[in-house]
Amino acid sequence: MTTQVLLNAAISIGAPLLFIFFIYTSNIYSDGKFVSTVVTNLLWGATGAFAIAFVVNIYVALPLVGSVEAVRGITAPITEEIGKALFMVYLIWNPRFRNIVEGAIYGFAAGIGFAIAENLYFTFTNAAPFADILTRVLSTTLMHATASALIGTFLGRYRRSEARYRSIYPWLGFVLAIALHAAYNNSVIVLGEGAHLLIVAVAVGALGAWLTWQQIQLGLQDEKKRIDAMLTMHSVTPKERRALQQMGTDAIDRVFEDLTERFGRRVADQLRRLMVVQANIGILRSNLNTPASERLRAAWRKEIEALTAEMEGLQRRIGTLAMVFFRGVFLDKQRALYENIGRSLAESEQTEVHQFDALMLAAERAQTFQPAELERLANMLRRAPIFKDVSLADLENLSRSVRELSFEDGQMLFDQGESGDTLYMIEAGAIALYKISPDGSERLLRVCNIGDVVGELALIDGSPRSARARARGNLLVLEVQRTHFNMFLKSRPQVVLAMLQFLAERVRETTVALETSMHWARQVAAGNFTAAQALSALIPSLAAESAAPAEPERALSMDTAVQLPTMLGGAFSRAAAALEQRTKALGESNKATGKSGIWARFGREASETGDKA
């Protein structure tokens, strides 16, 4: 075997195999099953298809037609194209054959495999110069790959189409592929081998590639119609787009079931996440067109950068083939459809889509805020204990949902027993909290003044109000609604962490208060009132309240858990002071009267007083 033959064989094998290398390195489709199916088609083309064509052409067709030229020009295109496509026909009924683009690639691989075998056969049976071998390798590889890809494309349309005339697609694909193949072979017979043959092959390949591309585009249009029908979006109006938020998740689930059938669960899940990420990027970019401080804009840009990096990573993992399909079906001239899928995802992926930002973009009121006003509102919200660990940028964002409300003297903000769905921060005036007795009368619990917050835990748990709230004087408040706050939390994990920190501090303070109260009770029972007074002041956040004298109008409410330490500290301090004064009075009385058994009686009274406290 000469060096020339070995070189020719290397070219015959190496050039076509570059196609497989391209598929692997460019991540056309990040699915091991897809790659293995491509390789299987290539091996089928190189072995099974070539063997069938060789036997039929040499032992059946040649005796019938009588000449090699007739075999090459008439029967070979038929037998070779049918042989190359047999494995693809089998794949039509297999889950691995899922769409039109896959069909084109499977056909291309089968053609490449057949070309490798045919080129090797030609190399070892003809002592042709290297230039002729190179021309033949390039031209026949292009022709075989293009013709088979055309068949695969039409088989893909047959697999996915729901039209009544779908059965014509396979036949049409075979006819066009055989016609291209026959045109090339007859050109070889007429023109002979040489450089001009490569020109003919390029022309045939270009025509086949154009036909394949046209079929892919038609197939993608069919897919658009299918998805469009799933979402009932034949005539999209702004009102219908808004209505998608109420249509539930059935439609979007059907879309992703369809994507799962084409690309598998993993890729479909990645496409779903990609849609969410791209929807969020679009929402945040729209935010940049609204009035906002540079601090808030910087926070949005940082989010966009992080989401863009995630999007690029998803695109690489999804693979080129699925991304071509995704862009062709969802993005090309179907922007309204894609936006509506994003809105549907907002309903089914509430922890991922920036619903709050989307709502603020749609709300006319949110567009009227000026940056200075948002900064002012954010600084006011920061004074509330529940927001003290939230960044000012996030509070500025939340402030877009804040409303300023005014109430007249005596007007009710909420009633006892109502669902707690709103936080109020007092800008001017005061709020009086009342406990409603069974007979309907009001008993004053507490008066909240400028800067105070009412209903902060209602934002988190939404539990019923435990008191009635009325305006004292002309009242001006900031209102934060629970629905807006929950939407804000779902897309801002850093705010969730701040809320958890706030709740943890409250639990810790309440725990310390309860532990201290037990120690206080033991000190009182032992008659150590000085130590009991000191313990009252140790309860978190209570020293100032404990030292202050009790006011009839500032009896503390048990409206929220936040007030429990204050309530305990104030009550303990007052009880200890009262018990100490009574002990002294009883001691002086004992000295004056000389009665016995007073300490036993005092112990019982002190115990009863402590229980009442």
pLDDT in tens, 256-273: 777 777 677 888 888 878
In total, how many domains does the chain have?
4
3-class SS letters over 514-551: HHHHHHHHHHHHCCCHHHHHHHHHHCCCCHHHHHCCCC
Identify whether residues 295 and 324 lie together within a single domain.
Answer: yes
Query: For residue 330, what is the DSSP state?
Result: I
Q: How far is CA 148 from the centre of its chain?
A: 39
Same domain for 188 and 253?
Answer: no
| 470 shares its domain with 541 | no
Backbone angles phi, psi at 478, to 5 degrees: -95, 135
Tell whether 441 and 532 lie within a shared domain.
Answer: no
- Helix 564-593 to helix 598-612 angle (10° resolution) is 160
* pLDDT computed for residue 1 by the predictor: 52
Comparing 535 with 399, the larger pLDDT belongs to 399
Of 207, 229, 251, the last residue of a domain is: 229
Kindly tell me if the per-residue pLDDT of 458 is higher than 90.
no
Q: Is residue 210 part of a domain?
A: yes
Whether 381 is in a domain gets the answer: no
- What HEC string does 24-81 produce? HHCCCCCCHHHHHHHHHHHHHHHHHHHHHHHHHHHHHHHHHHCCHHHHHHHHHHHHHH
* pLDDT the model gives residue 606: 43
- Model pLDDT for residues 269-313, shown as the tens digit of each residue: 888 788 778 777 777 887 787 777 888 888 888 888 988 898 888
SS (H, E, C) 590-606: HHHHCCCCHHHHHHHHH
Residues 94, 100, 105, CA angle at the centre, nearest 5°? 85
CATH of the domain at 470: 2.60.120.10
How confident is the model at residue 542, as a pLDDT? Answer: 42
Q: Which domain holds residue 298?
A: 241-367
pLDDT of 45 above 90: yes
Q: Specify the higher pLDDT residue, 224 or 467.
A: 467
**Same domain? 100 vs 123:** yes
Does 560 or 59 have the greater pLDDT score? 59
| Same domain (yes/no): 408, 523 | no
Helices marked H in 192-249: 195-230, 238-243
Q: Does the pTM exceed 0.75?
A: no
Mean pLDDT of 81-85: 95
- How do residues 88-123 score in pLDDT, each as one tens digit? 988 877 766 666 777 888 898 899 899 888 888 887
pLDDT > 90? residue 191:
no
Report whether 488 contacts 401 (CB < 8 A): yes
- The answer to whether 81 touches 174, Cβ cutoff 8 Å, is yes
8 A C-beta contact, residue 406 and residue 429: no
pLDDT at 245 over 50: no
State whether 321 and 349 are in the same domain. yes
Average pLDDT value for residue range 151-163:
82
Lowest mean pLDDT among 353-357, 404-408, 415-419: 353-357
Whether 476 and 543 share a structural domain: no
Percent of the chain with pLDDT over 90: 16
Q: What is the pLDDT of residue 273?
A: 81
Q: Is residue 498 part of a domain?
A: no
Residue 377 within any structural domain of the chain: no
pLDDT confidence bin for 198, thresholds 50/70/90: low
Least confident window among 94-98, 215-219, 239-243: 239-243
Q: What is the mean pLDDT of the chain?
A: 73
Q: Are strands 422-436 and 442-448 parallel, antiparallel or unpaired?
A: antiparallel
**422 in Cβ contact with 462 (< 8 Å):** no
Q: CA angle, 573 as apex, 570 and 575 as ends, to 5°?
A: 105
Tell me, yes or no, whether 475 and 577 share the same domain. no
**Residue 347: Cβ-neighbour burial (10 angstroms; 0-12, 13-18, 19+):** middle
> Is a pLDDT exceeding 70 seen at residue 478?
yes
